[in-house]
Amino acid sequence: MPLLAREASSKRRFLLAVALAALAIVAASIAAAANTAPSRGQVAAEIGEWVRSHTNAGDTILVWGVDAGIYLAAAREPAGRFPYDLPLVTRGYVTEGLIRAWLADLVAAPPRVIVDSEAASGYWAEDDDFLRPPPPGTAGGRDLDLLGPFREWARGSYVLAVEIDGRKVYERADR
């Protein structure tokens, strides 16, 4: 009996060693990929540089997504009352009235630039952006249905100026 136990134990050790080796290979691959992709801060800095060179110091910008680093890198104030989109897409908080009031503020004082930092998100199809609603069930439980009036206004008021690492930057069409 002890001989059988030793044989089973060495098989388990072998399988454990194989599993650990596979895990190490996967971890090394992930680390290598992470080192080649620009960090969120690097992308924010690049976008910020572009925004600073294409806007005036007093201009406001709107960052669609959750990427406050872009405001800091661009040294520009947020347009409207929300510096990120979560209040505008959170079920149970967002209302048509909230969207109308937010949009009225944007129309009265339009941002010089809109940065779609969500364009690089896995929630969106490759060629989509904040101007098109994502397919049902792909927005991480967020409610994007109420944003139709904002999308319509933005489509008529802004043009794609540049894409930086998957993030789309729009300028006002009247510039």
Within 8 A by CB and 6+ apart from 55, the residues are 61, 74, 76, 112, 113
The total of structural domains in the chain comes to: 2
What pLDDT sits at residue 98? 92
Note whether 56 and 118 are same-domain residues.
yes
Q: Judge whether 95 and 105 are in contact, CB under 8 Å.
A: no
The chain-wide mean pLDDT, for the chain, equals 79
Range of the domain at 140: 40-172
Note whether 73 and 54 are same-domain residues.
yes
What pLDDT sits at residue 129? 60
Note whether 126 and 81 are same-domain residues.
yes
Amino acid present at 84: Y
Note whether 10 and 27 are same-domain residues.
yes
pLDDT for 13-27, tens place per residue? Answer: 766 666 666 666 766
- The yes-or-no verdict on residue 110 having pLDDT over 90 is yes
What pLDDT sits at residue 38? 62
Strand 167-172 relative to strand 113-116, pairing:
antiparallel
What pLDDT sits at residue 4? 47
Note whether 14 and 90 are same-domain residues.
no
The Cα–Cα gap between 157 and 170 comes to 9
Note whether 19 and 79 are same-domain residues.
no
Selection from 41, 97, 46 nearest residue 68 by Cα: 41
pLDDT for 125-175, tens place per residue? Answer: 555 566 665 555 555 555 566 788 898 899 899 999 999 988 899 999 986
80 conformational bin, left if phi > 0, alpha if psi -120 to 50, beta if neither: left
Compare 44 and 9 and report the one with higher pLDDT: 44
Residue range 29-39: average pLDDT?
A: 60
Reported residue count of the chain is 175
Q: Please give the share of the chain, as a percent, with pLDDT higher than 70.
A: 64
pLDDT for 51-76, tens place per residue? Answer: 999 999 999 999 988 788 999 999 99
Burial 73-108 (b: 16+ CB within 10 A, else e): bbebebbbeebbbeebbeeeebeeeebeebbeebee
Note whether 69 and 120 are same-domain residues.
yes
Q: What is the pTM of this model?
A: 0.71
Element (H, E) at 113: strand 113-116
What pLDDT sits at residue 2? 55
